[in-house]
Structure 1
Amino acid sequence: MPDIQPHLFVIFGATGDLTKRKLLPALYHLMQDQDIAQRCHVLGTARSEWSDEEFRATAQKALRENGFSEEELAQWCGRRLFYQGLGEDGQDFDALRDRIDQIERHYDLPGNRTFYLSLPPSAYGPTIDGLGAVGLNTSPGWTRVIIEKPFGHDLKSARALNERVHGHFDESQVYRIDHYLGKETVQNLLAFRFGNAIFESLWNRDRIDHVEITVAESLGVGGRAGYYDQSGHLRDMVQNHLTQLLSLVAMEPPAAMEADAIRQEKVKVLNAVERPDPEGDLVLGQYGAGTIDGEPVSSYREEADVPDDSDTETYAALRLRVNNWRWQGVPFYLRTGKRLPTKLTQVAVRFKSAPVSLFQLSRQPGRPEPDGERATPNELLITLQPNEGFDLRFEVKAPGTDGEITLESQHLSFSYENAFGPVPDAYETLLRDIVTGDQTLFVRADEVEASWALYGPLLEADVPVHPYEAGSWGPYATDQILADWTSGDRRLAASAAS
């Protein structure tokens, strides 16, 4: 692991929800590593004119709710946390620069700085400009700026924001964060594929029938309705999270396990994806009232701050094709939605069936009568949440069966938590990479633009938004189109529930 250099970690939006729920707990966990604890100071900043003590009290409260001990909290918050207000307009960057200089002089820091923009997207540009205007885009040490998703609203706005960022920062200083990339199983996709020849040799159009990527949420929009109704699920989930998973599953082996080599292969995947047809490759939906975990829930239009006539999608299913040598003819099915039956993020790789069916199938619960049915195709399930791990499904001979060979489905499972104990939170992983300068798990400018270019036709198209009941797996139209996409293989439509 690279050396941890002394540095100042500056959080814009330090009084916000993301800081309290994710950033402060992740930083606290990181600082259990004494190499980081002795070298990292945290400066929170926002419009509120708080004192250091007020910020520390807020941080302690947020961390206390995450189960940390009072003694540890008092020690960490009292020594390492500071605060600087930015004024009512949030633009007092001169005061911020002066406070940074003061802290660095007092603690003899070498000028290494991280600026984390935990802000609404509309504030990204002005904040970048403000940092550049007072010279905080450079320093005696290194300077890094971290930008949360969404990065732009479409291709045009993403390009404009990239140009604005590059007007003050070099691309090597920019870390566009997608927290899905911090999950252990996502990172392990690279190790699993390129460290195990048994799987990489099968990872192509000759052996794989299709790939399905599912990101299901049981929650509704909650307090994000104001933002969400202007964005929709394609922008909120598909353009970033699901597309990142697609690129990692489909990418070619990188020349080296280095940031730019890996990101270059991901961009190649996006550039090879055929532009989807809004009419034939996309289903959109919006949740109505229903039941989740036995509790009644309201419809999307009944959520606070959602217009009564809103047509914003809360569900999307689409088919993509990667037109290159490895994947030609292999469909990728992406499906994601809110108010689905359970929380699940999973990549399902369905391998091709044996060309000839030689065996009988046992009668198992939920399986149709075996006469004439072919063996269930082998399937690899890569689960990111709630239980990170891998599951390989295959057929074996059932014991006995009067001299006939009868197949029965079994599986081999690997659980990260069972093997290694609790896995780090995604933000903890990403923050560690930030302070060590590793950009592998962060999104490059051309990758952002390639992703927006891919989905532009879908965002501009007039596609019907189908209703679906909360607690279901989405609109009935999805079942119909999935059956058409897969030549009647309805198992795909139910795979996320299994």
Structure 2
Amino acid sequence: MQQSSPLTSGFGSRADGEIVIGEIGPVAESSSLVIFGITGDLARKKLVPAIYDLAHRGQLPAGFDLVGFARDAANSEPVLRESVITHARRPFDPEVWHTLTQRIHLIEGSFDESPAFTRLASLLTTLDHRRGKPGNYVFYLSVPPSAFSTVCGQLAVVGLNRPAQGWRRVVVEKPFGHDLPSSRALEGVLAQAFPPSSVYRIDHYLGKETVQNILALRFANGMFEPLWNNRHIDHVQITMAENVGVTGRAGYYDGVGAARDVIQNHLLQLLALIAMEEPVGFDADSIATEKVKILSATELLGPLEHTSARGQYGPGVDSGLPVPGLTDEIGFPPDSTTETFAALTIGITTRRWAGVPFYIRTGKRLARRTTEIAVTFTPPAHGSPAARAAAVSNVLVFRVQPDDGIELHIGAKRPGGGMQIQPVSLGMDFRSVFDPAPEAYERLIGDVLRGDSTLFPRRAEVEHSWRIIDPLLQHWATAGRPDTYPAGTSGPVSADRILSRSGREWRAL
């Protein structure tokens, strides 16, 4: 198979017969990507492999350079090579890797070391002159939020934050603070160095194809939108379950917990896409406008002692093997109150969604790994008593991971005499229909290089999400210890009571 040059070819054209909602977006210009913390876990496991995959597919812009900045960067090339072999989606190709390494440059230094940033500025200028580039730089802050201020300040001192020509973009990873005040303080730090349009907040869930297909299914298919309201939808469940624990992550996870880690960002973003109104266009500004509107109308439903639950996994079994409880994990104190399971009830005060509860749950060391959105429609309220009793609830399920796809659960007559209705599933697996989709970071890094901010949350979205979650965190802070649930189960019993009060139940894990 003929392979295009991994570093000079641009993005592919549309396939014949493809229906496109909105525009594909701009073509990536020649630029340099600087990763601060290139030897950290995120860069090694996600960022560098994603860049390799982009190179392998010929989707890096001409004149691309990757600059790695870290205290131990000088001898990291073998480490990066191993990370690509282990974590990239595409098979390792020595020729692609060799070509890419000609564009990888390493700066050794600490974030508070001014001479290192002077060397960085000099290197970027040299690369611009060498390749005839206009001075386009992406700064990826793969560092703890506590280092944002230092890095942004150093970039400002050497004049890298404001372009005399070209453009500047800065990419930041969650957590975007630990509550609303700290989030605003963090945004203030970024705003001192970069204009709002230059800030790209990564939420890797938004790079997943199933998540993006929520909008396609809703607005490119006429059959769903007339039913997408409180007259036809009974409730919505959003679940992110993991069967792994937090082994080795005590330094990050203790004191953060499940609600801050994934509900405030990933799961509220999923809620916004499910519930938002149709945007006037499928560009970044139009989609962000509708997400902000729906999040501003979103609130916790109470009383919180009945509508929320939190838990912490205890000892249990995973894949037939015993596993420890959270407080037996290395680095966690025995009196830790950090929750590894969180469930809550959300309401949306709009005409479309008034009265429809959104149930959100997430947890670690649960029975299996899955992320899904399940929209449960109201069962028929007409017909004979026998027909109503036999009716089943139709459920539309977006499977985000691990087997991404869409399912529609309906009732069908069982073969034989009598009208015996049985739930059946109509499903579509993305992998069986489409070519393999880019990995989330691959897609998002490509979007940053192109300047397409559609899949990146805006500041207002982040702040509304903290406004929603903060009262729950404040309630839990005075509510004693989390409930304990055995590892390998579906979570604490208190979570079941959230739905059972209304005659509903969680979808099985």
Q: Which residue of 2 is the match for residue 199 of structure 1?
A: 224
Whether the 8 Å CA contact 1:290–1:471 is kept in 2: the answer is yes
Q: Secondary structure at the match of 2:224?
A: helix
Task: Give the aligned partner of residue 282 of structure 1.
Answer: 308
The answer to whether the 8 Å contact 1:214/1:345 transfers is yes
Q: Residue 392 of structure 1 aligns with which residue?
A: 408
97, 103, 107: which one pairs with 1:84?
Answer: 107
Alignment of 1:375-390 (within 5 A): 375-390=391-406
Q: Which residue of 2 aligns with 1:241?
A: 266
Distance (Å, rounded) in 2 between the aligned partners of 1:285 and 1:87: 39
Contact 2:300 2:344 in 1 (8 A): no
* Matched residue type, 1:22: K
CA distance in 2, matches of 1:76, 1:218: 39
Pick aligned residue for 1:405 from 390, 399, 419: 419
CA distance in structure 2 between the aligned counterparts of 1:49 and 1:470, rounded to whole angstroms: 39
Q: Shift of the alpha carbon at 1:76?
A: 3.0
TM-score relative to the length of structure 1: 0.92
Matched, 1:452 2:466: yes
Letter in 1 for 2:447: D
Percent of aligned pairs sharing the same letter: 43
- 1:139-288 matches, cutoff 5 A: 139=163, 140-277=165-302, 278-288=304-314
Contact 1:251 1:266 (8 Å CA) reproduced: yes
Amino acid at match of 2:394: N
The answer to whether the 8 A contact 1:64-1:70 is kept is: no
| Aligned-residue offset at 1:90 | 5.0
Q: Using the TM superposition, give the Cα deviation of residue 423 of structure 1 relative to its aligned residue in structure 2, in angstroms.
A: 2.1
Provide the aligned C-alpha RMSD in A: 1.7
2:156 aligns to what SS in structure 1?
helix
Aligned-pair CA distance for 1:237: 1.0
Residues 1:488 and 2:503 aligned together: yes
2:485 maps to 1:468: yes
- Aligned 8 A contact 1:113 1:143 in 2: yes
Q: Which residue number in structure 2 is paired with residue 7 of structure 1?
A: 31
**What letter corresponds to residue 434 of structure 2 in structure 1?**
F
1:269 counterpart SS class: helix
1:9-28, Cα deviation, whole Å (9 max, x unpaired): 11010011111110011111
- What is the aligned partner in structure 2 of residue 25 from structure 1? 49
Per-residue CA shift, 1:279-304, capped at 9, x if unaligned? 23210000000011111110000111
Structure 2: distance between partners of 1:21 and 1:49: 16
Aligned equivalents of 2:29, 2:73: Cα separation in 1: 30
Contact 1:254 1:265 in 2 (8 A): yes
How far did 1:73 drift? 4.9
Matched-pair contact (CA < 8 Å) for 1:316–1:337 = yes
Q: Gaps spanning 5+ residues in structure 2: where?
A: 1-23
Given the alignment of the two structures, is residue 441 of structure 1 paired with residue 478 of structure 2, yes or no? no
Task: Report the 3-state secondary structure (helix = DSSP H, G, I; strand = E; otherwise coil) of the residue aligned with 1:390.
Answer: strand
Q: Quick check: 1:72 aligned with 2:90?
A: no
Letter of the structure 2 residue corresponding to residue 213 of structure 1: I
The partner residue of 1:328 within 338, 354, 361 is: 354
Tell me the CA shift for residue 447 of structure 1: 1.0
Equivalent position of 1:364 in the other structure? none
- Are the aligned partners of 2:29 and 2:62 in contact in 1 as well (CA < 8 Å)? no
Change (3 A) 1:72 1:322: same
SS at match of 2:60: helix
- Partners of 1:88 and 1:325 in 2: how far apart? 50
Q: Which moved more, 1:203-212 or 1:126-135?
A: 126-135
Alpha-carbon shift at residue 174 of structure 1 (Å): 0.5
Distance 1:214 1:428, change over 3 A: same
431, 442, 459: which one aligns with 1:417: 431
The residue that corresponds to 2:151 in the other structure is 127
Quote how far apart the aligned CAs of 1:35 are: 5.0
- 1:297 alignment partner in structure 2: 323
Write the distance in 1 (CA, Å) between the matches of 2:323 and 2:389: 40
Give the SS at the match of 2:299. Answer: coil
Check the 8 A contact 1:357/1:374 in 2, yes or no. no
Measure the CA separation in 1 of the matches of 2:312 and 2:431.
35
Supply the distance in 2 between the matched residues of 1:18 and 1:90 (Cα, whole angstroms).
22
Aligned to 1:198, the other structure's residue is in SS state coil
Cα deviations across residues 227-263 of structure 1 (Å, max 9, x unaligned)?
1112111111111111110111110111111101101
Query: 1:367 — aligned with what?
Result: none
1:81-113 residue CA offsets vs partner (Å, 9 max, x unmatched)? 110112474553222211211222222222111
Structure 1 unmatched ranges of 5 or more: 362-371
Residues 243 and 368, structure 2, Cα contact 8 Å, conserved in 1: yes
Equivalent of 1:59, from 76, 80, 97?
80
Work out the CA distance in 2 between the residues paired with 1:74 and 1:414.
35
Name the structure 2 match of 1:366: none
Aligned to 1:431: 445
Distance 2:222 2:56 in 1: 37
Amino acid at match of 1:27: I
CA 48–21 in structure 1, closer or farther in 2 if over 3 Å, else same: same
CA contact 1:360–1:405 (8 Å) conserved in 2: no
Q: Which amino acid aligns with 2:122?
A: D
Cα distance in 1 for residues equivalent to 2:426 and 2:73: 56
How many angstroms does 1:454 deviate by? 1.2
CA distance, structure 2, for counterparts of residue 88 and residue 112 of structure 1: 22
Whichever residue aligns with residue 414 of structure 2, its letter is A
